[in-house]
Amino acid sequence: MILPDLTIPSRANQNRKHIGIDRPEHPKIKDPAWFETYPHAVEYCYNSRGFRDQEWPDSLIELKNSIWCLGDSFTVGLGSPQSHTWPQILEQTMQQRTINVSMDGASNSWMQRWAIKICEQIQPRIMIIHWSYLTRTEIPDSSDESDPDSLLNDEQRRLHYSPDLLDTTKAMRTFCDLVLDLENNKGHTRIIHSFVPNFAVLGPLEQHWKTFAGPSWPNLPNTLAEFDALPVFIRQELQQDFDCYDVFRIWCELRGRLEHVPEFAKLDRARDGHHYDLATAQHFVAGICDLLQG
């Protein structure tokens, strides 16, 4: 079995009607009426590895030629039928098998760790990563290796809001370093990066830039060199908010080095009211296809 540890054991071969926040009694359900009247049937069918996907191919060649899709609950497709998820829409659009590696509550560290292992052991031609919120990370194992309870599985590692990453600048720098480390270890795999709506907590960074921008300001620069070449008066004004200045600068450094889908906002909502649904997934896939076919 290739990548035998890439599993979520508690969900292997499970069929569930509700998962995570997509349940009527969950406190994050802000619109119970919408939940009850959502017009599509939702069922969570997990394969033998515990992912919301078909069984994966056994052949290394088939795995290499599949499009690997990594993400959190937006990639799982919480609150939506499986046919509405972006990996499924991408598979239908490209007429090419996709492999869905996603877990609700997954952190960027989890995605990066598995992305590197997948690149090392399978070397797929294409990988799409839908990065999660900057505040998420993982709980480390205990230092007591003799204690069997010190080893956590991937579900137990999930830490949705890390106190260490509540500083947006620190979180953005941590994320930048993590992504660039992946880029340095991807081998021949082509990676397309993307970001869940409001991943930086500040809101879409393009839109956030516009709240600062004066009438003579350019659009948010695409590279670090362009950012550092901004007129002095713009950089001085930005530096009045040191956190945002640093976040914008790191963001320009990062996206100038990545092949990525531009940030996008939700166009619709899934049954749980938080995740996006078919229209947004289709918009996202169109952005992926523009890059793949460009």
CA angle 240, 243, 245 (to 5 degrees): 65
Residue 93 confidence (pLDDT): 98
Residue 175 confidence (pLDDT): 94
CA 152 to chain centroid: 22
SS3 269: coil
Arch. (CATH architecture) of 9-203+263-293? 3-Layer(aba) Sandwich (3.40)
Residue 287 confidence (pLDDT): 98
Residue 179 confidence (pLDDT): 97
- Please, what sign has the CA dihedral across residues 260, 261, 266, 270? negative
- Rounded to whole angstroms, the maximal C-alpha distance in the chain is 63
- Residues in the chain predicted with pLDDT less than 50, given as ranges, are none
Residue 105 confidence (pLDDT): 94
Q: Where are the domains of the chain?
A: 9-203+263-293, 205-257
Residue 50 confidence (pLDDT): 98
Residue 150 confidence (pLDDT): 61
Residue 204 confidence (pLDDT): 80
Say how far apart CA 7 and CA 12 lie, in whole Å. 8
The torsion angles phi and psi of 12, rounded to 5 degrees, stand at -60, 125
